[in-house]
Chains A and B, each alone.
Chain A
Amino acid sequence: MEYFLDEQQKMIKEIARNITEERIKPVRAELDEKEEFPREIIKEIAQADLFRVFIPEEYEGFGAKCLDACLAIEELSRGCCGVSICYAAVMLGTLPIILFGSDEMKQKYLPQIASGERLVAFGLTESGAGSDAGAMKTLAKLDGDSYIINGTKQFISNGGDAEIYSIIALTNPAKGVRGASAFVVEKDTPGFTFGKKEKKMGIRCSSTCELVYHNCKVPKENLIGKEGAGFIATLKTLDGSRPGVAAQGVGLGQGALEEAVAYARQRVQFGQAVSSFQAVQHMLADMATQVEAARLLLYACARTIDAGATNYTEDGAMAKLFATDMAMKVTTDAVQVFGGVGYTRDYPVEKMMRDAKILQIYEGTNQILRNDIISHVYKRKAMRP
Chain B
Amino acid sequence: MNIVVCIKQVPSTTEVKINSETNTLVREGVESIINPFDTYAIEEGVRLKERFGGKVTILTMGPPQADIALKECIEVGADEGILVSDRAFAGSDTLATSYVLSKAIEKIGDYDLVISGKQTMDGDTGQVGPGIAQRLGIPFVAYVSRVDDISDGKMKAERMIDEGHEVVEAPVPCVMSVSKEINVPRLPSLRGKMKAKSAQLTVWSAQDLGIEDNKVGLAGSPTFVMQIFSPKRERQSEMLEGSSAEQVSALCDKLSEMKVV
Q: Which A residues are closer than 8 A to B by beta carbons? A: 7-8, 11-12, 14-15, 18-19, 22-23, 44, 47-50, 52-53, 62
Q: Does B51 touch A at the CB level, under 8 Å?
A: no
Provide the residues of chain B in CB contact with A49, threshold 8 Å: 189-192
Beyond A12-B190, A19-B187, A47-B187, 11 additional contacts (C-beta under 8 Å) are: A8-B194, A11-B193, A14-B193, A15-B190, A18-B187, A22-B187, A44-B187, A48-B188, A49-B192, A52-B190, A53-B190
Q: Is the CB of A47 within 8 A of B190?
A: no
Partner of B193, one of A15, A44, A53: A15
Query: Which of B189, B191, B194 lies at the interface centre, i.e. has the most chain A CB atoms within 10 A of its CB?
Result: B189
Q: Does B186 touch A at the CB level, under 8 Å?
A: yes
Provide the residues of chain B in CB contact with A12, threshold 8 Å: 190
Provide the residues of chain A in CB contact with B189, threshold 8 Å: 15, 47-49
C-alpha gap A50/B188 in the complex (Å) = 11
**18 CB < 8 A contacts A-B:** A7-B197, A8-B190, A8-B194, A11-B193, A11-B194, A12-B190, A15-B187, A15-B188, A18-B187, A19-B187, A44-B187, A47-B186, A47-B189, A48-B187, A48-B189, A49-B191, A49-B192, A52-B190
Provide the residues of chain B in CB contact with A11, threshold 8 Å: 190, 193-194
Interface 0/1 of B131-150, CB less than 8 Å to A: 00000000000000000000
Provide the residues of chain B in CB contact with A44, threshold 8 Å: 186-187
Interface 0/1 of B167-209, CB less than 8 Å to A: 0000000000000000000111111111001000000000000
Within the complex, the shortest CB–CB distance from B140 to chain A, in Å, comes to 31
Within the complex, the shortest CB–CB distance from B214 to chain A, in Å, comes to 45
Q: Which B residues are closer than 8 A to A by beta carbons? A: 186-194, 197
Within the complex, the shortest CB–CB distance from A45 to chain B, in Å, comes to 10
Provide the residues of chain A in CB contact with B191, threshold 8 Å: 49, 52
Provide the residues of chain B in CB contact with A7, threshold 8 Å: 197
Provide the residues of chain B in CB contact with A14, threshold 8 Å: 188, 193
C-alpha gap A248/B130 in the complex (Å) = 50
C-alpha gap A53/B190 in the complex (Å) = 9
- Give the residue name and chain of the A residue nearest to B188 (CB): A15
Q: Is the CB of A18 within 8 A of B186?
A: no
C-alpha gap A22/B186 in the complex (Å) = 10
Query: Which of A14, A18, A48, A62 lies at the interface centre, i.e. has the most chain B CB atoms within 10 A of its CB?
Result: A48
Q: Is the CB of A23 within 8 A of B187?
A: yes
C-alpha gap A44/B190 in the complex (Å) = 12
- Give the residue name and chain of the B residue nearest to A53 (CB): B190
- Give the residue name and chain of the A residue nearest to B190 (CB): A49
Q: Which 7 residue pairs spanning A and B have beta carbons closest together?
A: A49-B190, A48-B189, A49-B189, A11-B193, A18-B187, A49-B191, A47-B186
- Give the residue name and chain of the B residue nearest to A68 (CB): B190
Provide the residues of chain A in CB contact with B194, threshold 8 Å: 8, 11
Provide the residues of chain B in CB contact with A50, threshold 8 Å: 190
C-alpha gap A322/B191 in the complex (Å) = 34
Query: Which of B189, B190, B191, B194 lies at the interface centre, i.e. has the most chain A CB atoms within 10 A of its CB?
Result: B190
Within the complex, the shortest CB–CB distance from A62 to chain B, in Å, comes to 6
C-alpha gap A15/B186 in the complex (Å) = 11
C-alpha gap A312/B197 in the complex (Å) = 35
Provide the residues of chain B in CB contact with A52, threshold 8 Å: 190-191
Provide the residues of chain A in CB contact with B188, threshold 8 Å: 14-15, 18, 48
Within the complex, the shortest CB–CB distance from A192 to chain B, in Å, comes to 33
C-alpha gap A326/B191 in the complex (Å) = 34
- Give the residue name and chain of the B residue nearest to A19 (CB): B187
Within the complex, the shortest CB–CB distance from B51 to chain A, in Å, comes to 15
C-alpha gap A53/B189 in the complex (Å) = 11
C-alpha gap A14/B197 in the complex (Å) = 14
Within the complex, the shortest CB–CB distance from A362 to chain B, in Å, comes to 27
Provide the residues of chain A in CB contact with B193, threshold 8 Å: 11, 14-15
Query: Which of B191, B192, B193, B197 lies at the interface centre, i.e. has the most chain A CB atoms within 10 A of its CB?
Result: B193
Within the complex, the shortest CB–CB distance from A376 to chain B, in Å, comes to 35
C-alpha gap A47/B194 in the complex (Å) = 14
Provide the residues of chain A in CB contact with B190, threshold 8 Å: 8, 11-12, 15, 48-50, 52-53, 62
Within the complex, the shortest CB–CB distance from B75 to chain A, in Å, comes to 9
C-alpha gap A8/B193 in the complex (Å) = 9
